[in-house]
Amino acid sequence: MIDPEDLAAFQAEVADIKPLPPINRVQLNKPKRAAPPRPAPKEAKAPERKKPAGDDLPAHWRAMGESAPPPVHLAPEQREFRAAMAGVKPLPPANLVEHSKRPPPPRPLQHLADEQAALHESLHGFIGLQDRLEGGDEPHYLRSGLAQNVLRDLRRGRWVIQNEIDLHGLNRDEARHQLATFLAACLHHGKRCVRVVHGKGHGSPQKTSILRQLVRGWLAQRQEVLAYCQAKPPDGGEGALVVLLRNQK
């Protein structure tokens, strides 16, 4: 709704205004809308032709395959592969690389020969006066039927210590189990000379090492033990034994 006061004020303002004469007016012609194009009559589509197998391959592949077309009974994938591989020739034997077989692992022949020589000399070597005076009071063991030279060479350090086990802090059952496992592993890996550390018994009652006495008895009962003797001071002295094991073979 228009306010009457506003309408009266508007009419008072435009009372003296006159419209333009027709000569000063510009007539604008409205453009006519173009008629929409009529749809063309639909033409019947021709049926699509299926491409034969191999039409989607590159031209040079088809050219190579034209000389020897693949058999018809093959699957489409095999036909495409045959067409792609047409003209391919195998490499001549001169360009092939022949890999040699892996060589066998090296064997320490000199080390084995040295061990055999040491064992032979220990079993069949001459026992001199100095060898007879080297007995001492230290603990030792030699399997029945072996020459004293075996124990002599063990005392003199002829055999290199290859492994060791420390039985400190173990009770009787644990020590026996650990010692048996250790000897079996050394025998399996071909270790001939080992060191068994049992301690001096300074922390035992009456300063007597019970474990030391037990270890000596256990070693004497093992079939793989040939001999043992007390270790030298740098190797443990009274707290260790040097043990010679038989060859695994």
Render pLDDT for 172-181 as a digit per residue (tens, 0 to 9).
888 899 999 9
Q: How many residues does the chain have?
A: 249
Tell me if residue 157 falls in helix, strand or coil.
coil
What amino acid occupies position 249? K
Q: Which two tokens stand for residue 217?
A: 């008895």
Q: Which two tokens stand for residue 99?
A: 């890999």
Could you report the per-residue pLDDT of 49-89, keeping only the tens digit for each? 665 554 555 565 555 545 555 566 778 888 888 888 888 88
What's this model's pTM, rounded to 2 decimal places?
Answer: 0.45
CA–CA dist 235, 237 (Å, integer): 6
CA–CA dist 159, 99 (Å, integer): 42
Q: Which two tokens stand for residue 159?
A: 């055999």
Tell me if residue 195 falls in helix, strand or coil.
strand
Domains of the chain: residue spans and CATH? 136-245 (3.30.1370.110)
* Residues β-bridged to residue 195: 164, 242
Q: Which helix (H) or strand (E) holds 243?
A: strand 240-245
| DSSP secondary structure of 7-54 | HHHHHHHTTT--PPPGGG--PPPPPPPPPPPPPPPPPPPPPPPPPPTT
Q: Which two tokens stand for residue 247?
A: 């060859």
Categorize the per-residue pLDDT at 158 as very low, low, confident or very high, splitting at 50, 70 and 90. Answer: confident
Rounded percentage of the chain residues whose pLDDT exceeds 90: 13
